[in-house]
Amino acid sequence: MENETEIRYEEEFTLNSRGMQLLASTARRLAKAGFAVYGLDYEGHGKSDGLQGFVNSFDDVINDCSNYFTTICEKAENKKRMRYLLGESMGGAVALLLHRKKPEYWDGAILVAPMCKIADDMRPNTMMVSILSALCKVVPTWRIVPTLDVIDLAFKVPQVREQVPLNFIETLNC
């Protein structure tokens, strides 16, 4: 163990432009490999403020991430380093939009199964989309479609299922 790199795990919170507290933390696996990695839980996700799972405006998420990561990249210790975005699932879509917002700023992006489009065979029919969209404008916080907890379905190993809600291993969500 004497050759093992020391890993420092930190959690910090940042305020977005609307005064909501968002969790920002390091990604352990990449940090162990020697990278300086910063992550951010979106509003309504993880340990950040907001109604769990609710995103009122995706543009706000993009702006929150852009402001946070730009601030991190402009710190003296990061100023001359290359800047890559890493995003998985919805984070992949966020990384793509962040890169498109400031293409000259980022050196690249790594997208892991980015959620850039919902498959046509998974979408409800056009009339149902119209009804649900209208309903969301009237009562945006209602859970229209009840769902099972996907953690039990997605993770077979009990120890992993226990760690997921604790947010120990973060991938860069933006």
Distance CA 124, CA 118 (A): 10
Instruction: Please report whether residue 113 resides in a domain.
Output: yes
Instruction: Please report whether residue 170 resides in a domain.
Output: no
Distance CA 119, CA 149 (A): 22
Instruction: Please report whether residue 52 resides in a domain.
Output: yes
Instruction: Please report whether residue 138 resides in a domain.
Output: no
Instruction: Please report whether residue 137 resides in a domain.
Output: no
Instruction: Please report whether residue 18 resides in a domain.
Output: yes
Full DSSP string of 19-63: S-EEEEE--HHHHHTT----EEPPTTSTTSSSSTT--S-HHHHHH
> Per-residue pLDDT averaged across 47-69, rounded?
89
The rounded radius of gyration (Å) of the Cα atoms in the chain is 18
For residue 93, what are its two tokens?
């879509």
- Residue 24: domain span: 11-117
Q: Tell which wins on pLDDT, 61 or 153.
A: 61
Instruction: Please report whether residue 17 resides in a domain.
Output: yes
Q: Report the domain count for the chain.
A: 1
Q: Tell which wins on pLDDT, 30 or 97.
A: 97
How many percent of the chain have pLDDT more than 90?
21
Distance CA 71, CA 79 (A): 10
- Is 117's pLDDT higher than 60? yes
Instruction: Please report whether residue 136 resides in a domain.
Output: no
Structure confidence at residue 143 as a pLDDT band (50, 70, 90): low
Distance CA 42, CA 58 (A): 10
pTM value > 0.75: no
CATH label of the domain that carries residue 17: 3.40.50.1820
